[in-house]
Amino acid sequence: MNRFDYIRAGSVAEAVAAHAAGAAYLASGTNLLDLMKGDVTRPERLVDISRIFGLDAIETLPDGGTRIGALVRNATLAHDPAFAKAYPAVAEALLSGASAQLRNAATTAGNILQRTRCQYFYDTASACNKRQPGAGCDAIGGVTRTHAVLGWSEHCIATHPSDFCVPLAGFDAVVEIEGPAGRREIPLESFHRLPGDAPERETELAPGDLVVAVRLPPEAKAFAAHSRYLKVRERTSYAFALVSAAVGLTFAGDRIGQARIALGGVALKPWRARAAEALLAGAIPSPELFARAADAALQGASPSGDNAAKIDLARRIVVRALTLAQAGTPARIPALPASPFGA
């Protein structure tokens, strides 16, 4: 058994002060505790932030944006009527992740910080540059059906597992951070790192940094009437995405005004498809236009093994998500959230 110190912090300042080399912040632990049980990670100290007052609030800001505290539960956020009406694709993404029990426990910060679900990362008998830099990557040349097709490197081909992060990246969310160097903000689109030659560095967080909130801008509400999150998975419930897409559209007459597209399950971070967004802006929607946008969204994609079919699947999901977004956001989230089989 790995011995570790446990400290319960009463404030953000206490938590940051208690963090040290080899420490980890603990909220609900829905991912961290699994990693500890599997001996994938061995923190020497756990700093419990779960009782810090004020981190569990959903706030409407003076500019009309929304601030989501780090400890807000996934289920609480998804079922908040005002939030779901303003950001329906985000709510749909949240409800398509994990099980109801996990959504009742998992937190906002924990969701965006969850580690990859690559089976080689979880198998401590396999070489993994994320667990042990320089060890190699046994995923390369292995079973790669779920692995990356964008942004991967010779050192790592894993993908990021979050559903929540995909629409957050698409709608320009910002991560608020408190750390030893003070308070700062990072756009969520830039928060996660591609593997490059240092796959062990997964985010732009510095040692001791604590995520305190995620903020959605008021501009994201403009997409509420035409936005969807679509997810293809091994089974409709309790599974991570093979590929997913968050889409938002605005309209000026019969033309698309603005477009937002982000992909999940294709890279080690949510993948913002800005070239596809630019192609759609000002155009009259059509199946042919959506197909070209899908090609633009997957520009540069390449198999990281025996997963070329994932590229075509991602293109099809982008087209389907755009088609559904054009038709309009449903009045109620489907019974099978984000499923292409949901009514």
pLDDT given at position 343: 61
For 128, 152, 195, 199, 296, the CA distances from 202, given in Å and listed in that order, are 14, 13, 7, 6, 26
For 18, 70, 233, the CA distances from 97, given in Å and listed in that order, are 32, 18, 11
Of 221, 290, 219, 284, give the one whose Cα is nearest residue 256. Answer: 284
> Is 44 in contact with 23 (CB distance < 8 Å)?
yes
pLDDT given at position 235: 87
For 1, 3, 35, 192, the CA distances from 43, given in Å and listed in that order, are 12, 9, 10, 21
CA distance 147 to 326: 30
Structural domain 5-51, CATH architecture: 2-Layer Sandwich (3.30)
Torsion of CA 89, 100, 112, 163, to 10 degrees: -40
CA distance 254 to 106: 41
> Is 172 in contact with 215 (CB distance < 8 Å)?
no
Query: Domain locations in the chain?
Result: 5-51, 223-327
For 27, 107, 219, 220, 266, the CA distances from 110, given in Å and listed in that order, are 7, 5, 25, 23, 20
Each residue's pLDDT expressed in tens, for the chain with a length of 343 residues: 789 999 999 999 999 999 999 999 999 999 999 999 999 999 999 999 999 999 999 999 999 999 999 999 999 999 999 999 999 999 999 999 999 999 999 999 999 999 999 999 999 999 999 999 999 999 999 999 999 999 999 999 999 999 999 999 999 999 999 999 999 999 999 999 999 999 999 999 999 999 999 999 999 999 999 999 999 999 887 899 999 999 999 999 999 999 999 999 999 999 999 999 999 999 999 999 999 999 999 999 999 999 999 999 999 999 999 999 999 999 999 888 999 887 6
For 137, the token pair is 């990557």
Torsion of CA 280, 285, 287, 292, to 10 degrees: -10
Strand ranges inside the chain, DSSP E: 5-8, 23-26, 45-48, 58-60, 66-69, 174-179, 182-187, 210-216, 227-233, 241-252, 255-264, 271-272
Torsion of CA 150, 259, 283, 312, to 10 degrees: 30
CATH number of 223-327: 3.30.390.50
Task: Give DSSP secondary structure letters for 197-246.
Answer: T-TT--BSPPTT-EEEEEEE-GGGGGGGGGEEEEEEESSSSS--EEEEEE
pTM for the model: 0.97
pLDDT given at position 340: 86
> Is 100 in contact with 107 (CB distance < 8 Å)?
no
> Is 15 in contact with 26 (CB distance < 8 Å)?
no
The rounded Cα 30 to chain-centroid distance in angstroms is 15
For 165, 210, 216, the CA distances from 185, given in Å and listed in that order, are 16, 11, 12
